Structure 1
Amino acid sequence: MSKRPALLVLVRHAESARNQAKKGSVYFADDAARQVVRGVPDHLIDLTADGHKQAEQTGHAIRERFGVFDYVYTSGYARTVQTAEGILGAYTSQERDSMRVRTNIFVRERDPGFAYDMTTAEAEAAFPWLNEYWHTFGGFMARPPGGESLADVTGRVHTFLDTLFRDRPGQKIMVVTHGGTLRCFRFLLERWGYQQAQRWPEGQTPANCGVTTYRVAASGEQLELEDYNRVYWTVGSASDGI
């Protein structure tokens, strides 16, 4: 008997307003760049118009490839909820009724900390030691001031996976989550070392609505990577960041 879900599909959320404003940078370039989303907490950031289209196009591909899921999880953040809604829009009402949609706080994005709404110049002025600290500890262990490291997030993801392994053996699961959280899933499921987890390899930053697939091994003991970051949409632009 399988001790793992039969299928685990991880989807990064579609393009968000914050992705669009930051254009892949860690901080905002300037005050003009952040005005659209300034003061909006991370969990309330919406998708862009292109993001909604990305989710809809991805939904048709997911339905054709994987069929109906037993459970669909989101982080509860607006951008993951809206992405899941766009994906599930490709299914018939009867199919949607058969899938259980749940929120799980353990798969939320890392807490970005005090520099969340800062420009590059503001962050460098407020935390002049940060670049050296980040260089010393690396992108997996270092914590943004007031925030979480990816190692912290991995602890949450571990708890989520333990719950899946206990409660969802043999089932088909989709999780709509965030870019940083996806790295934590890969760290655990693929048994990465700390050095491998420091940064995404060149060209492997997860795309908006990138689809990563794991299937249970013949032994039923572990999930194996089938493919990573497959993109099915043709509108908008893939964005880095959360």
Structure 2
Amino acid sequence: MEQLHWLAVVRHGLSTGNVTAQDAETSGAELIDIPERDADVPLAPAGREQAEAVGRHLAGRRLDLAVVSPYRRTRQTAEIALAGSGVPVVVDERLRDRELGVLDLLTARGVRARLPDEARRRERLGKFYYRPPGGESWADVLLRLRAVLREIREDHPGGRVVLFAHEATVLMVRYLAEHLSEPELMELARGSTIANCSISSWRLTAGRLEPELFNAVDHLHRHDAPPTTQEDVNAEPV
């Protein structure tokens, strides 16, 4: 099957839910007090600024398609980053965040205190296979990611595509693109906090996608971020 020429994943900008969740974890609370359902959580003001920085970084690159999670924070990130670019945008529910089921709105402390049996089951099975009641395991998320990436490759061979999605999506796209094992993915997850509006990307080299950037945030700290190479601006797909 023909590959994409370039694939990138952008995690959404800082959301109001991210801020509330971090405050809850830091304070030792058991519950995260987010009034909206997960799909409706918006960007925080800082998240909108991060999305603008992504837009400056992508400006001038030739992009064939953006595929976006339907969640409000990811749609807002894509809308801000791609404003005026003319890049076609497709919203795909398969890029939604992992569904947590009974663990939703619980901090790590809250899970241990209120659902100790689930905490033990999660510890025994590991993140990859543990499925909370009413939710998804990482393996479940991978099933939908495999499907959407296969369709993108088939519909846009040799294309340059950017995904706007979530923290877990970044890790799992890397798992798929680089053919990682479960232990390799778990080690990566333990050592990496995927930053808001970070960019991870892969470029076609010798017939396969090779890693180019992972969890990169340099573009968030400067006012001008031109394309890395002239190829990004005007080259034809291979």
TM over 0.5: yes
Residue in 2 aligned with 1:239? none
Residue in 2 aligned with 1:165? 153
Residue in 2 aligned with 1:229? 215
Question: Alignment identity in percent?
Answer: 29
Residue 43 in 1 paired to residue 26 in 2?
A: no
CA-CA distance at 1:201 after TM superposition: 4.8
The two structures have a TM-score, normalised by structure 1, of: 0.83
CA-CA distance at 1:199 after TM superposition: 4.9
Specify the SS of the correspondent of 1:124.
Answer: helix
Specify the SS of the correspondent of 1:215.
Answer: strand
Amino acid at match of 2:210: E
The answer for unaligned runs of 5 or more in structure 1 is 236-242
Cα deviation per residue 1:52-94 (whole Å; 9 max; x = unaligned)? 0011012101225xx13111110111011011112113xxx3x
Distance 1:84 1:206 in 2: 17
Distance 2:201 2:25 in 1: 27
CA-CA distance at 1:34 after TM superposition: 3.4
Amino acid at match of 1:12: R
Specify the SS of the correspondent of 1:197.
Answer: helix
Amino acid at match of 2:136: E
Specify the SS of the correspondent of 2:221.
Answer: coil
Residue 204 in 1 paired to residue 192 in 2?
A: yes
Amino acid at match of 2:211: L
Distance 2:162 2:107 in 1: 35
Residue 34 in 1 paired to residue 32 in 2?
A: yes
Instruction: Provide closer, same or farther for how the CA distance between residues 171 and 119 of structure 1 changes in structure 2, counting only shifts above 3 A.
Output: closer
Query: Are the counterparts in 1 of residues 69 and 91 from structure 2 also a CA contact under 8 Å?
Result: yes
Residue in 1 aligned with 2:230? none
CA-CA distance at 1:27 after TM superposition: 10
Instruction: Provide closer, same or farther for how the CA distance between residues 208 and 171 of structure 1 changes in structure 2, counting only shifts above 3 A.
Output: same
Instruction: Provide closer, same or farther for how the CA distance between residues 116 and 215 of structure 1 changes in structure 2, counting only shifts above 3 A.
Output: same
After superposing the two structures, state which structure 1 stretch, 151-160 or 180-189, moved more: 180-189
Say what the alpha-carbon RMSD is for the aligned residues.
2.3
Residue 70 in 1 paired to residue 58 in 2?
A: no
CA-CA distance at 1:154 after TM superposition: 0.4
Amino acid at match of 2:54: T
Amino acid at match of 2:47: G
CA-CA distance at 1:28 after TM superposition: 8.4
Taking the TM superposition and a 5 Å limit, the aligned residue runs for 1:17-32 are 17-23=16-22, 29-30=28-29
CA-CA distance at 1:120 after TM superposition: 5.0
Residue in 2 aligned with 1:129? 117
CA-CA distance at 1:115 after TM superposition: 2.4
The answer for unaligned runs of 5 or more in structure 2 is 223-238
Query: Are the counterparts in 2 of residues 8 and 214 from structure 1 also a CA contact under 8 Å?
Result: yes
Query: Are the counterparts in 2 of residues 28 and 118 from structure 1 also a CA contact under 8 Å?
Result: no
CA-CA distance at 1:185 after TM superposition: 0.9
How many residues align structurally?
221
